Amino acid sequence: MPAELIDGRAIARKIRADVAERVKKLAARGIKPGLAVVLVGDDPASEVYVNAKGKATEEAGMYSLTIRLEADTSQSELLAGVEALNDDPRIHGILVQMPLPKQIDPDFIIRSVDPRKDVDGFHPMNVGKMLVGERDGFIPCTPAGIQVLLKESGVQTSGKNCVIIGRSNIVGKPMAALLMQNNPDANCTVTVCHSHTKDLADHTRSADILIVAAGRAGMVNGDMVKKGAVVIDVGTNRVEDKKAKSGFRLQGDVDFESVRKVASRMTPVPGGVGPMTIAMLMANTVRAAEMTPE
State which fold the 29-116 domain adopts.
Rossmann fold (3.40.50)
pLDDT per position as a tens digit, 159-215: 999 999 999 999 999 999 999 999 999 999 999 999 999 999 999 999 999 999 999
pLDDT for the residue numbered 177: 97
Report the alpha-carbon distance of residue 208 to residue 226 in Å, rounded.
7
Q: How far apart are CA 176 and CA 163, in angstroms?
A: 9
CB 67 within 8 A of CB 36: yes
Question: What are the start-end ranges of the H helices in the chain?
Answer: 8-27, 44-59, 75-86, 106-112, 124-132, 141-152, 172-179, 200-204, 256-260, 273-290
Distance CA 27, CA 107 (A): 35
Name the more confident of 243 and 219: 219
Backbone angles phi, psi at 272, to 5 degrees: -110, -95
Sheet of strand 4-5: strand arrangement: 4-5, 265-266, 230-233, 209-212, 161-165, 189-193
Paired strand residues for 40: 69
Helix (H) or strand (E) holding 231: strand 230-233
Packing angle, helices 273-290 and 8-27, rounded to 10: 20
103 catalytically annotated: no
Cis peptide before 293 (omega within 30 of 0): no
Q: Return the pLDDT at 262.
A: 98
Q: Is the dihedral of CA 233, 235, 236, 239 positive or negative?
A: negative
Rounded to a whole number, what is the largest CA-CA distance in the chain? Answer: 57
Q: Which one is catalytic: 118, 120, 208, 233?
A: 120
**Set 53, 117, 129, 160: catalytic member:** 53
Name beta bridge partners: 5.
266
Q: Which of 18-22, 73-77, 235-239, 268-272 has the lowest mean pLDDT?
A: 235-239
Domain boundaries for CATH 3.40.50.720 within the chain: 141-274
pLDDT at 11 (0 to 100): 98
97 a catalytic residue = yes
Model confidence over 107-162: pLDDT tens digits? 999 999 999 999 999 999 999 999 999 989 999 999 999 999 999 999 999 999 99
State pLDDT tens for residues 247-264. Answer: 777 889 999 999 999 999
Q: Which fold has domain 141-274?
A: Rossmann fold (3.40.50)
Reference 96, options 87, 85, 290; nearest CA is: 85
pLDDT at 242 over 80: no
pLDDT of residue 84: 98
Checking if the pLDDT of 294 tops 70, the result is: no
Name the nearest CA neighbour of 117 among 61, 55, 33.
33
Q: Tens digits of per-residue pLDDT, 61-105?
A: 999 999 999 999 999 999 999 999 999 999 999 999 999 999 999
Q: Is 255 a catalytic residue?
A: no
pLDDT grade for 240, boundaries at 50, 70 and 90: confident
- Sequence-distant (≥ 6) Cβ neighbours of residue 5 within 8 angstroms: 265, 266, 267, 268, 272
Cα–Cα separations (whole angstroms), residue 92 to 20, 55, 136, 290: 16, 17, 15, 9
Tell me where in the chain the CATH 3.40.50.10860 domain(s) lie: 29-116
CA nearest 276: which of 11, 4, 5, 6? Answer: 11
